[in-house]
Amino acid sequence: MVKNSYKKELGFSILVTLICALLVICSFSYAKESSQFPRFLTATMLALSLILLVQTLRSRPRQPEMGETDQERSSFWASQKVPFLVFFIAALYVALIPVIGYFTSTILFLVGTMTLFGRHRLFVMLGTSMIFLVVIYALFVRFLGLHLPEGMLF
Amino acid sequence: MEVLFSGIIKGGLLLLDPMTLFLIMAGTVFGIVIGALPGLTSTMGVALLVPVTFGMSPAMGLALLGAIYCSSTYAGAISAILLNIPGTPANCCTMLDGYPMTQKGESGRAIALATAASAVGGFLSIFALLFLAPPLAEFALKFGAQEYFLLAIFGVSVIASLSERNMVKGLISGCLGLFLSIVGMHPLTGDVRFTLGIAELYDGLPLVVALIGLYSIPEVISILESKQEKVKQSWSVGRGVFTQMMEIFKHKILLFRATVIGIIVGIIPGAGCSIASFVAYDDAKRFSKNPSMFGKGSPEGVIASETANNAVVGGSLVPALTLGVPGNAVSAVLLGGLMIHGLKPGPALFIENSAIVYCFILSLFVSNLVFVPVGLFIARYCARLIETPASILGPLVIGLAVMGSYAVNMSTVEVWIMLAIGMLGYLMKEFDVPREPLVLGLVLGSMAEGELARAMSLVHGSVSGLIHSMLTSPISLIVIGLTFLSLWQGIKKHLPS
């Protein structure tokens, strides 16, 4: 467990250091007057990420090296299932909005996500989705005059 | 003094018009709804209703707009406490302790405290507006570009005390916030930077969109992962509410300090409600008997944040009414409303149109009284949201987050930006990187860069010239001293005892 947490921290520190180094390089591609503050910031971030990397390396556990077990590996991927699903479904929903319209895609998204996360009573799912859409329509469209994407449907 | 009292009497008589009182009530309800909905800001609420006031008398129109300003600044606390999504950027600091209180089953108490603290902060700041406006406005005029830059840096120095577990991670988060805030056009040269070719980012990363993504998506993942069908708690808003509200008076000194911070920050143009609440929160933590409770559901944290952000309301109107220099974006829009009705801001306003101006100021008092019962009534029903099973609440929060980020500029690109920031927020939570310093950096970054650029141009680009100028200005020296003090307080906590 300790080793897993160390590996996670090490991976994070290396990733942050690489990103900061990339940002420092990018900050030099702009005119000096416009990039003084970004250069200062990215250089500070790079210095801090190096400190974090050193901190992580110094906290390396002194246990004998052991290979990662299949169980540890599978539990890591299992813990990433919900975040992956949330981002995937949300991205699909946002991508569908301009294509089939806000209202249709929202009903599909709400009913689909509720089903996926354990709600199976169609009446509750459709009822909740309809109430949500009525509130959105009343507040944003009728009252605030917001124009929602219509797409092929509505 | 005579002018002041005759103005108050004339303004009071105007305020007694039943239509004006009805408009204050309507504006309060509208402001609470706008404030509680993530993605809709006080500025947006006031701006939306400016055209509606065209057909009204100046006193009625300004009373309506003032009521929206007061109530929307407060109402953002409702969603911050119940859903961990700040209704407006002003309330992001309230989440730090408001949401943990909800998780502990104390949402009713948190909302009662936030409501009472908001009312007290708002009420006292209107007193300041009434009596201290001219001398305070004169003081704010002494702030130049370098003082504003140093003020932003002072705000960022609060990061040190916001990073409880790992200060380096907190500082990286703060720097990332500052970096994200400079995405877009340079304030002076107009060069476009770090936009990845996305036109919607030319004006910078929208703060509201970033806040929605940073806090809503990771929270949804967290409630869906916990597999608990019902999030613990309570629709207990309204039960024993009076006693809970009175609890704020156990912290009289905290209330006073947070109000003073809110008023001062409000007077300084460019700074705003979010900065005031972060500074007051940091100050409350420093002087608290239980600083370790901050971030874990401390009532003092909620009181400090909400008192300060509502105290900004009165403060921000001081330079707006007396000098025509708005303290923040909402007061700028309000100033627009004032000018639409033919009123010219400045010292003469208080003499030539004293009845209207004092009616407006007195209407803010009324609004601060009205939003207490109205806010508690609306919050009582909002609190029931928490009882919704995670499988229903999760998708609804994402739906609201998508709508909120779309509503900012009616653009789906901003919804994608919200999702990207949501992913960043999730990774930060997963790797135990505090998100609050990022928010602080995001709020202060553009002010810091803009003022630094202006200060540099005043000394013809000479760094030594700027340092010399800072070291010879008494206000700059005070702000530098406060910054070092703030940093030291933060570092001291991380040193081995």
Question: Chain A contact for B306, CB < 8 A?
Answer: no
Mean pLDDT of all residues in B156-177: 75
Q: Which of A26, A35, A40, A48 to mutate to test the interface with B (most CBs of B within 10 A)?
A: A48
Tell me the residues of chain B between 205 and 244 that have a Cβ less than 8 Å away from chain A.
Answer: 217, 220-221, 224-225, 229
Inter-chain CB proximity B392 and A31 less than 8 Å: no
- Asked whether the predicted pLDDT for residue B60 surpasses 70, the reply is yes
pLDDT tens digits, one per residue of B432-442: 888 878 877 88
Tell me the residues of chain A between 55 and 94 that have a Cβ less than 8 Å away from chain B.
Answer: 55, 79, 82-83, 86-87, 90-91, 93-94
Mean pLDDT of all residues in B25-40: 81
Nearest to residue B31, comparing CAs of B50, B44, B13? B44
- Asked whether the predicted pLDDT for residue B163 surpasses 70, the reply is no
Amino acid at B461: G
Mean pLDDT of all residues in B414-426: 92
- Asked whether the predicted pLDDT for residue A87 surpasses 70, the reply is yes
Q: Take residue B369 and report the two structure tokens written for it.
A: 């009284």
Name the pLDDT band for A1 (thresholds 50, 70, 90): very low
Please tell me the distance in Å from B267's CA to the nearest CA on chain A: 27
Q: Which of B159, B223, B398, B413 to mutate to test the interface with A (most CBs of A within 10 A)?
A: B398
**Which of B323 and B257 is assigned the larger pLDDT?**
B257
| Chain A residues with beta carbon closer than 8 angstroms to that of B26 | none
**Which of B53 and A101 is assigned the larger pLDDT?**
A101
Mean pLDDT of all residues in A77-89: 84
Contacts 24+ apart (CB under 8 A), B49-54: B50/B333, B50/B336, B50/B337, B50/B340, B53/B337, B53/B340, B53/B341, B54/B340
Look up the pTM and report it.
0.72
Task: Report the residue from A79, A94, A140 with minimal CB separation from B419.
Answer: A94
pLDDT tens digits, one per residue of A11-54: 888 888 898 899 888 888 888 778 888 888 889 888 988 888 88
| Chain B residues with beta carbon closer than 8 angstroms to that of A87 | 217, 419, 422-423, 426
Mean pLDDT of all residues in B108-128: 89
Tell me the residues of chain A between 88 and 147 that have a Cβ less than 8 Å away from chain B.
Answer: 90-91, 93-94, 97-98, 106, 109-110, 113-114, 117-119, 124, 128, 132, 136, 139-140, 144, 146-147
pLDDT tens digits, one per residue of B315-348: 888 877 876 666 666 777 787 778 777 887 766 7
User: What pLDDT shows up at residue B167?
Assistant: 78
All structural domains of chain A with their residue ranges: 1-61, 81-154
Query: How far is Cα B28 from Cα B38, in angstroms, rounded to an integer?
Result: 17
pLDDT tens digits, one per residue of B361-418: 899 999 988 888 888 888 777 666 556 677 888 888 888 888 878 877 788 898 999 9
**Which of B230 and B138 is assigned the larger pLDDT?**
B138
User: What pLDDT shows up at residue B295?
Assistant: 85
Q: Phi then psi for B216, rounded to 5 degrees?
A: -80, -50
Name the pLDDT band for B230 (thresholds 50, 70, 90): very low
**Which of B23 and B2 is assigned the larger pLDDT?**
B23
Please tell me the distance in Å from B142's CA to the nearest CA on chain A: 25
Name the pLDDT band for B235 (thresholds 50, 70, 90): very low
Please tell me the distance in Å from A129's CA to the nearest CA on chain B: 8
Name the pLDDT band for B75 (thresholds 50, 70, 90): confident
Angle at B45 between CA B42 and CA B49, to 5 degrees: 140
Q: What value does the mean pLDDT of chain B take?
A: 81
Q: Take residue A104 and report the two structure tokens written for it.
A: 């249709």
Segment among B38-47, B63-72, B447-456 with least mean pLDDT = B38-47
Amino acid at A41: L
Q: Do residues B452 and B246 lie in contact, with contact meaning Cβ atoms separated by under 8 Å?
A: no
Inter-chain CB proximity B391 and A114 less than 8 Å: yes
Q: Take residue A76 and report the two structure tokens written for it.
A: 């890591």
- Asked whether the predicted pLDDT for residue B310 surpasses 70, the reply is yes
Q: Take residue B167 and report the two structure tokens written for it.
A: 């200060």
Phi-psi region of B465 (alpha: psi -120 to 50; beta: other; left: phi over 0): alpha
Segment among B107-111, B141-145, B271-275, B386-390 with least mean pLDDT = B386-390
Amino acid at A125: M
Question: So what's the ipTM on this one?
Answer: 0.88
Query: How far is Cα B257 from Cα B88, in angstroms, rounded to an integer?
Result: 23
pLDDT tens digits, one per residue of A111-144: 999 998 876 788 888 898 999 999 888 877 887 7
- To the nearest 10°, report the CA torsion of B306, B312, B314, B317: -150
Inter-chain CB proximity A132 and B221 less than 8 Å: no
Task: Report the residue from A16, A35, A82 with minimal CB separation from B224.
Answer: A82
Sign of torsion over alpha carbons B96, B102, B105, B111: positive
Instruction: Please count the residues of chain A.
Output: 154
What percent of chain B lies above the pLDDT cut of 90?
9
| Chain B residues with beta carbon closer than 8 angstroms to that of A114 | 391-392, 395
Task: Report the residue from B391, B407, B426 with minimal CB separation from A83.
Answer: B426
Task: Report the residue from B33, B389, B399 with minimal CB separation from A109.
Answer: B399
Residue B293 burial (C-beta neighbours within 10 Å; 0-12, 13-18, 19+) = middle
